[in-house]
Structure 1
Amino acid sequence: MALSPSSVGLRVIVFLSLLCNAFPYAPHSHRHRIANHNYRDALTKSILFFEGQRSGKLPSHQRMTWRRDSGLSDGSALHVDLVGGYYDAGDNVKFGFPMAFTTTMLSWSVIEFGGLMKSELQNAKEAIRWATDYLLKATSHPDTIYVQVGDANKDHACWERPEDMDTPRSVFKVDKNTPGSDVAGETAAALAAASIVFRKCDPSYSKTLLRRAIRVFAFADKYRGPYSGGLKMAVCPFYCSYSGYQDELLWGAAWLHKATKKPTYLNYIQVNGQILGAAQFDNTFGWDNKHVGARILLSKAFLVQKVKSLHEYKGHADNFICSVIPGAPFSSSQFTPGGLLFKMGDSNMQYVTSTSFLLLTYAKYLTSARTVVNCGGSVITAGHLRSIAKKQVDYLLGENPLRMSYMVGYGPKYPRRIHHRGSSAGGGGPLPSVATHPGKIQCHEGFAFMNSQSPNFNVLVGAVIGGPDLHDRFPDDRADYEQSEPATYINAPLVGALSYFAHSFGQL
């Protein structure tokens, strides 16, 4: 039977949609065991959270309905369109450095575990695309990246819903004269990683992302320097580049090697790896320091793809693994009495989620290569890594001394007074949503709501906050931003981890 052009087009769309959801991977199975948590519910909520962080013109299918359009003139100060993207945490500033890292980690989550996400895969991809559409705007001019929208100091002096904000939407950029190899390297990594996500289902968009990643990385490498050098007054102390820019160059090159398979990037890594700190001993992975992530990513090229010249990265990755294994001979990690990995008091949960993701991802690589990790004579198997990651995720979801879920909206007991302007609303007085109070609430008026003891009325479902202190204590205090503030880069790696556990326990 002959098909009309419209029906052919429809079939092509359906076919591409199927391709978009095709990430085959059969994981190590826990199906015969009883799940401690509803990981599928947690996965759904962990992705939904990103809708609450959106800036710009919201789509008609927006599910976090208490949010409205915001930042619609962003970029106009420099006559560039910078509408869209994400607010990083509980404020109304768009910081490009953590936004790019969030994008990379969401993409990595889909690359490794997207085949397990089922109906949530499309939502994860929409979360990625909301970021990459913005990053394409931010990198539209050659040798220039717009890295921040909003005056952070003035923004933090107000407590306003994003829909109301009237603080300066100042625009900050890096260029040839004010370099930023760290933010540029991370942006290149984000675009390259996302290009892999969209390669089959939207090849045109994927090629656009990859071409831009290549151009942005060339800029990062040619004009070297930390972005917090020239932009210190704007980006510090919020997102200073404390670890330098070398880790982002290695990270960006690793993602471009994965996305392009070009020998150019393999050669770059071989020549520059040691200079860029590939063997540096550290065990903290987050928005600032990418060394560990680069080691794990490059170890796959050796373990799974048999790129012999990258053999040293297996050793570098093993060193990281040994540093986080409780009781291992070379362990250098600290844990709370309740068993939570503890790196620092400010937003510690970001390190819990990122480390859990790396443990599960490396376990996947080890399984594929049928090998193990040797820590000073102690053999560490892939199953051991999965077990450690599960304990961390389970703690986050409520298996802790307080029986508190640190994901908003998950479980019977979770943080009710999170440090988040748009969410901090309640019937007793805190900041109402635009839907219930369309009138403008001025800058300083909002602090009365911030200081209220009433629970947040606008529930930011899926938000994972900074978490408990070193002694498993959590005050649920809105003013305590170190423990009570959510952030996109806390949730992004958790998406991958929850996908793995939801599938492993037969919930997907």
Structure 2
Amino acid sequence: MAYDPPSHNYTDALSKSILFFEGQRSGRLPHTQRVTWRKDSGLHDGNDVQMDLVGGYYDAGDNVKFNFPMAFTTTMLAWSVLEFGKSMGSELPHALEAIRWGTDYLLKSTDASGSVVGIVGDPIGDHTCWERPEDMDTPRTSYRVTREKPGTEVSAETAAALAASSLVFQGRYAALLLYRAKEVFEFADKYRGSYNDSIGEVACPFYCDFNGYMDELIWGASWLYKATKNPYYLNFVKQNMPNLGGFVTEFGWDAKHSGINVLVSQLVNGDNSPFVSNSDKLVCSILPESPAPKSVTYSPGGLIFKPGGSNLQHATSLSFLLTVYANYMKASNKVVNCGNSVVITPSRLINFTKGQVDYILGSNPLGMSYMVGYGSKFPKRIHHRASVLPSMDQHPGHIECHAGTPYFETQAPNQNLLIGAIVGGPAEDDSFEDSRYNVPQSEPTTYINAPFVGVLTHFKSLF
């Protein structure tokens, strides 16, 4: 198949995108830690509820552990390895390490019967300080969902992460992940309710669940079916899909709808499957030449946009789904008919996705790479506490809550390069403000990077 020639060093971008996760680690860092300006942090997490909750990831530029997006990040890293791991080469061990850093923590978060951890760290307290994770003295409160105060979305997403990850590991660890995934899914399904209502005072407005928890339940069941082949889970998916509503073109930490369709389209046979037809609708709602109503808009430079902040999360997540679906299409000699004689081939999908990848890496009107440390021009003032403040090596003494504010307010570049971090990205007119104050544009998140790992691996394998 004909592909546009390579525009970027996808191998370099891949290794940097995985390295980023080491900069987001919480807990006691291993001797293999490559982001050496980060040090141990959050070593007493869970003490307030007599649990060991040390580890996991800070989701973005603050020092809170939000389990809902963290679990989604882990699911996407696992899916990236499942689809593209054979092409990762020397980066595969690092990718598996990134997944395990997530799953080790998610196992701890589900270790107490009848509860699942939703958040560690008081977001309100945390956000009043500009403080290194190594210094934080804000409350490290643990917030759990329980039988009496359920949180189906965070529980079911945790089950999805554990089930997906069980497929990339082997032996006793894989068996433990799968066993726990089944337990947590049963808990999520049996005790239904939104964590908005149970721990909403800290979940919202940061990671409020906006479209209900049914998509997470179906997503969790989909991954459990892939991991077990138990028809119970596939029946659960099929019976509950009609209740999902019309979000067929949405995918991200909050909405799993199109991810379910693409994943399950490969697990069931036949073009008559609603999962296949819904995945086709996703393709037709994105490709610019399709006459179908669009689920995205485009910047003048060609970047896809959806409403809300941190837009590159949509560009990376949708690029991942389109890349995976293109491979499924190629394997089954399939094309997508979008009407008016517009036919989308797998190679067209890949070239379209390549345009999104290249834009993020610097082929855009500003010539700006939105991945820190990649290319010659990239954001230098990202909204990220550990990156902004001097490292423990440079400033061993404690920097208290408000003493970090001058570092935030300065126009100087950040002191530490968070290599591989993909920021929220440009505005819809392709403009970009390299400012810590512009949080939607300048803050990196784990769930922007996670799907991009798979996409970059695919393009590394093509060229």
TM-score computed with the length of structure 2 as normaliser? 0.98
Q: Superposition pairs for residues 42-121 of structure 1, below 5 Å?
A: 42-121=13-92
The one-letter code sitting in structure 2 at the alignment partner of 1:322 is C
Q: CA offset at residue 225 of structure 1?
A: 1.1
Structure 1: runs of 5+ lacking an equivalent: 1-27, 425-430
Name the counterpart of 1:471.
429
Q: Report the secondary structure of 1:410's partner residue.
A: coil
Q: Superposition pairs for residues 381-392 of structure 1, below 5 Å?
A: 381-392=345-356
1:177 matched to 2:139: no
Cα deviation 1:219-277 (Å, max 9, x = unaligned): 11111111111111111000000011011011111101101001111111222221234
Name the counterpart of 2:377.
413
* 8 Å Cα contact 1:325/1:331 also seen in 2: no
Among 291, 299, 310, the alignment partner of 2:257 is 291
* 8 Å Cα contact 2:41/2:133 also seen in 1: yes
Q: Report the secondary structure of 2:52's partner residue.
A: coil
Name the counterpart of 1:440.
398
Name the counterpart of 1:11.
none
Q: CA offset at residue 282 of structure 1?
A: 3.7
Name the counterpart of 2:316.
353
1:139 matched to 2:110: yes
Q: Report the secondary structure of 2:117's partner residue.
A: strand
* 8 Å Cα contact 1:155/1:167 also seen in 2: yes
Query: CA separation in 1, counterparts of 2:301 and 2:221?
Result: 38
Query: CA separation in 2, counterparts of 1:66 and 1:283?
Result: 40
* 8 Å Cα contact 1:350/1:466 also seen in 2: yes
* 8 Å Cα contact 1:432/1:457 also seen in 2: yes
Query: CA separation in 1, counterparts of 2:113 and 2:290?
Result: 48
Change (3 A) 1:362 1:309: closer
Name the counterpart of 1:449.
407
Q: CA offset at residue 422 of structure 1?
A: 0.1
Q: CA offset at residue 168 of structure 1?
A: 0.1
* 8 Å Cα contact 2:2/2:347 also seen in 1: no
RMSD (Å), alpha carbons:
1.2
Q: CA offset at residue 284 of structure 1?
A: 2.4
* 8 Å Cα contact 2:271/2:277 also seen in 1: no
* 8 Å Cα contact 2:147/2:191 also seen in 1: yes
* 8 Å Cα contact 2:289/2:342 also seen in 1: no
Runs ≥4 residues deviating over 2 A: none
Q: CA offset at residue 29 of structure 1?
A: 7.7
Q: Report the secondary structure of 1:445's partner residue.
A: helix
Name the counterpart of 2:364.
400
* 8 Å Cα contact 1:29/1:504 also seen in 2: no
The one-letter code sitting in structure 2 at the alignment partner of 1:494 is F
Query: CA separation in 2, counterparts of 1:140 and 1:345?
Result: 35
The one-letter code sitting in structure 1 at the alignment partner of 2:288 is P
The one-letter code sitting in structure 1 at the alignment partner of 2:229 is K
* 8 Å Cα contact 1:299/1:310 also seen in 2: no
Q: CA offset at residue 378 of structure 1?
A: 1.5
Q: CA offset at residue 320 of structure 1?
A: 1.0
* 8 Å Cα contact 2:73/2:446 also seen in 1: yes
* 8 Å Cα contact 2:65/2:119 also seen in 1: yes
**Larger mean Cα displacement after TM superposition, 145-154 or 341-350:** 341-350
Q: Report the secondary structure of 2:244's partner residue.
A: coil
Query: CA separation in 2, counterparts of 1:344 and 1:65?
Result: 36
* 8 Å Cα contact 2:305/2:311 also seen in 1: yes
Name the counterpart of 2:290.
328
Q: Report the secondary structure of 1:242's partner residue.
A: coil
Q: Superposition pairs for residues 260-271 of structure 1, below 5 Å?
A: 260-271=228-239
* 8 Å Cα contact 2:383/2:443 also seen in 1: yes
Query: CA separation in 1, counterparts of 2:358 and 2:248?
Result: 25
Structure 2: runs of 5+ lacking an equivalent: none
1:238 matched to 2:209: no
Query: CA separation in 1, counterparts of 2:150 and 2:267?
Result: 30
Name the counterpart of 1:368.
331
Change (3 A) 1:182 1:309: farther
Q: Report the secondary structure of 1:148's partner residue.
A: strand
Q: Superposition pairs for residues 166-315 of structure 1, below 5 Å?
A: 166-198=137-169, 202-277=170-245, 280-302=246-268, 306=269, 311-315=273-277
Among 444, 447, 451, the alignment partner of 1:493 is 451
Q: Report the secondary structure of 2:154's partner residue.
A: helix
The one-letter code sitting in structure 2 at the alignment partner of 1:402 is L
Query: CA separation in 2, counterparts of 1:140 and 1:386?
Result: 41
Name the counterpart of 1:318.
280
Identity rate of aligned residues, in percent?
Answer: 56
Q: CA offset at residue 345 of structure 1?
A: 4.5
Among 113, 123, 143, the alignment partner of 2:94 is 123
Q: CA offset at residue 310 of structure 1?
A: 7.7
1:378 matched to 2:342: yes
Q: Report the secondary structure of 1:391's partner residue.
A: helix
The one-letter code sitting in structure 2 at the alignment partner of 1:321 is V
Name the counterpart of 2:420.
462
Who wins on radius of gyration, i.e. which is larger? 1
Q: CA offset at residue 281 of structure 1?
A: 3.9
Query: CA separation in 1, counterparts of 2:403 and 2:247?
Result: 48
Query: CA separation in 2, counterparts of 1:353 and 1:222?
Result: 33
Q: CA offset at residue 400 of structure 1?
A: 0.3
The one-letter code sitting in structure 1 at the alignment partner of 2:222 is A
Query: CA separation in 1, counterparts of 2:33 and 2:390?
Result: 19
**Count, aligned residues:** 461
TM-score computed with the length of structure 1 as normaliser? 0.89
Cα deviation 1:463-499 (Å, max 9, x = unaligned): 0000000100101001111100000000000000000
